[in-house]
Amino acid sequence: MSSIHRLDGGFAINKGYGHSSGRTKHVLGREGAYTGEISPRMLAEFCQYVILGHSERRAYFGETNEQINRKVRAALANHLIPVICVGENLWRRTEAGRAAGVVSRQVREALLGTDLLADSDPIVIAYEPVWAIGTGRAATSEGANTLIKT
C-alpha cells in the first residue's frame, strides 16, 4: 500500500520498503546560502524527483522556460528525475488557438541542451491543463492525448 506525505514544498511517496520523494523548488545548480531554496546536490541526498515548471511557479515567481531548462539540466546532472509541468491558459487554448504551440515550446525549451539518448535518468513530462484550474471546466484524457499528439 502506498502513502503520500507532504514535505515543505514537495511530496514523498512510500511504497512498501522503498521510498521516493520529490520537491517543487531548487536553486539553479548553485552552491551557497540561498535562504528558502535547496541545491540539487543536497536535494539528491533525500529525493528522487523534482517538479519543475509548475504553473504556480511560472505565474507567481515569474519562472521562465530558460530558468526551467537550467533547473532540468541541474537535476539531470545530480541524478534527479525532473517532472516537467507544461500547459496552457484558457486564452491561449480557446481565443488564440495556440495550445499545441505553447506546450510544444515549453517541452522543447525545457529540454534544450540535454541529450535524451545519453542521459541515463528518466524525464517525466506532466501536462498541467492550466485553463481548467478554477474555471469549472474539466480536462479529459482524450483532450490531453489529442494535444500531445499534435
Percent of the chain with pLDDT over 90: 29
pLDDT one-digit tens code per residue, 21-51:
444 455 555 566 667 777 888 888 888 899 9
- pLDDT for the residue 26: 52
Tell me, yes or no, if 128 is annotated catalytic. yes
Q: Is 95 a catalytic residue?
A: no
- Residues 102-129: tens digit of each pLDDT: 899 999 999 999 887 776 678 999 998 8
Pick the catalytic residue: 31, 95, 128, 142? 128
Residue with cell 552552491: 31
How large is the angle between the packed helices 141-149 and 99-111, nearest 10 degrees?
70
- All domains in the chain, ordered by first residue: 2-149 (3.20.20.70)
Reported as a single tens digit per residue, the pLDDT across 45-91 is 888 899 999 999 998 999 999 999 999 999 998 988 999 999 988 78
Q: Could you give the strand order of the β-sheet that contains 2-7, starting from the edge strand earlier in sequence?
A: 2-7, 10-15, 18-23, 49-52, 81-86, 124-127
Q: What is the pLDDT of residue 138?
A: 85
Considering the candidates 54, 56, 95, 109, report the single residue annotated as catalytic: 54
Residue in the block written with cell 505553447: 102
Measured in degrees and rounded to the nearest 5, phi and psi for residue 83 equal: -105, 100
| pTM score of the predicted model | 0.75
In three-state secondary structure terms, 150 is coil
Exposure b/e, 23-42, CB count within 10 A at least 16 = b: bbbbbeeeeeeeeeebbbbe
